[in-house]
């Protein structure tokens, strides 16, 4: 759990891969593909919003090596990190 919080790019689970989508209109989106049909895809963006994009409008689609989850290594104190990992155990 500690490594996943400190280094989120080490292991991105299947279904949570980050994609860069560029449209023919010049728009760029970075997110996780939530739903995909033969004509559209819905991208889950940072902050919990979604963006539906017509596949016909997609100019480029690239899978990124990075996670949408930011690394918290520099922003959390050791005590905060321990508290964050132990908190779910306290809920049981």
Domain with CATH 2.30.30.100 in the chain: 17-66
| Burial of 56: CB neighbours in 10 Å, binned 0-12, 13-18, 19+ | exposed
CB 12 within 8 A of CB 71: no
pTM of the full predicted structure?
A: 0.70
Note the pLDDT of residue 52.
97
Domain 17-66: give its CATH code.
2.30.30.100
Biggest CA–CA distance in the chain, Å, is: 49
Residue-wise pLDDT for 11-67, tens only, equals 677 777 899 999 999 999 999 999 999 999 999 998 889 999 999 999 999 999 887
């Amino acid at each position: 759990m500690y490594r996943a919080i400190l280094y989120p790019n080490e292991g991105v689970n299947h279904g949570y891969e980050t994609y860069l989508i560029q449209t023919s209109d010049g728009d760029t989106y970075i997110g996780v593909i939530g739903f995909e049909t033969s004509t559209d895809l819905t991208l889950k963006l940072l902050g919990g919003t979604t963006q539906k994009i017509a596949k016909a409008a997609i100019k480029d689609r690239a899978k990124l090596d990075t996670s949408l989850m930011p690394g918290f290594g520099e922003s959390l104190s050791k005590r905060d990190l321990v508290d964050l990992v132990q908190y779910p155990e306290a809920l049981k």
